[in-house]
Amino acid sequence: MLAKRIIPCLDIKDGQTVKGVNFVNIRNVGDPVELGALYAKQGADELVFLDITATHEGRKTFVDLVKRIAREINIPFTVGGGISELEDAGKLLAAGADKISINSSAVRNPQLIDDLAKNFGSQFVVVAVDARKKPEHWAVTVNGGRIETDKELFGWAKEAESRGAGEILFTSMDHDGTKNGFANKELAQLSESLSIPIIASGGAGNMEHFVDVFTKGKADAGLAASIFHFREISIPDLKSYLRQQGIVVR
């Protein structure tokens, strides 16, 4: 069995790490480089840095911040927010990012996934999908969850894979920041229908939730923010607990 990955997520706004609930009520939780270095030291497998207002405000992800991260942090990290063309991705890769995450830009221009995979390799391309449950289906949203689209979660994830995405990062908007557990039913369905890794996001509140997401949800990686930022769970304790539950971690 491949080792399951623990991935702290750092949402960036104005150069600082922030956290909200259901993508709103944002508060500041510190310097992203310092936090990222702490998590790397504690045993995080990867990090994700997302500029959460880049698309909404029409800005590009800060390349300078990525350079700082690359200088200080020795584990793989993914950067997302405001990436809409090959040039954006190239700058981030050159600055030291290991992968890039695209979301709104991929929904609006699916060909971008093909172009990124062709130019940089699928392993470099993470397609993030933010979705909200509706009566009939899971609706894909863009602009940090602000705008609903006509795309449906499972169909869009399948298309992203076919176009060359190397991983899917699925965030349930309904679970985000609630600490009530991940969307395990949907994660399992994604895992069973796709052949690329699934990163689960949205809802982590305790260690049992990670056990559930790796067993019931069949996710390859568990991503969380506030439980790490606010010191509710430490990464060493989490990994020790997972091992006790028979889950393979690094």
Kindly report the CATH number assigned to the domain that includes residue 203. Answer: 3.20.20.70
Position 113 confidence tier, pLDDT thresholds 50, 70, 90: very high
Q: Is residue 79 part of a domain?
A: yes
* 8 Å CB contact between 238 and 6: yes
Domain range enclosing 187: 5-244
pLDDT tens-place string over residues 162-176: 999 999 999 999 888
Of 51, 130, 176, 212, catalytic: 130
Q: Does 237 map to a domain? A: yes
Q: What percent of the chain has pLDDT over 90?
A: 77
Q: Which residues contact 54 (CB under 8 A, 6 or more apart)?
A: 60, 61, 81, 82
141 conformational bin, left if phi > 0, alpha if psi -120 to 50, beta if neither: beta
The total number of structural domains in the chain stands at: 1
Would 249 be classed as within a structural domain?
Answer: no
Q: What is the pTM of this model?
A: 0.93
Residue 28 belongs to a domain: yes
Residue range 8-56, pLDDT digits in tens = 999 888 788 886 554 455 667 788 999 999 999 999 999 999 887 765 5
Per residue in 140-162, pLDDT (tens digit) is: 999 878 899 999 999 999 999 99
Instruction: State yes or no: is 11 an active-site residue.
Output: yes
Mean pLDDT of 210-216: 98
Q: Which of 11, 51, 176, 220 is catalytic?
A: 11
The whole-angstrom distance between residue 191's C-alpha and the CA centroid of its chain comes to 16
Residue whose entry in the numeric block shows the structure tokens 């994830």? 157
Look at residue 250 and tell me if it is in a domain: no
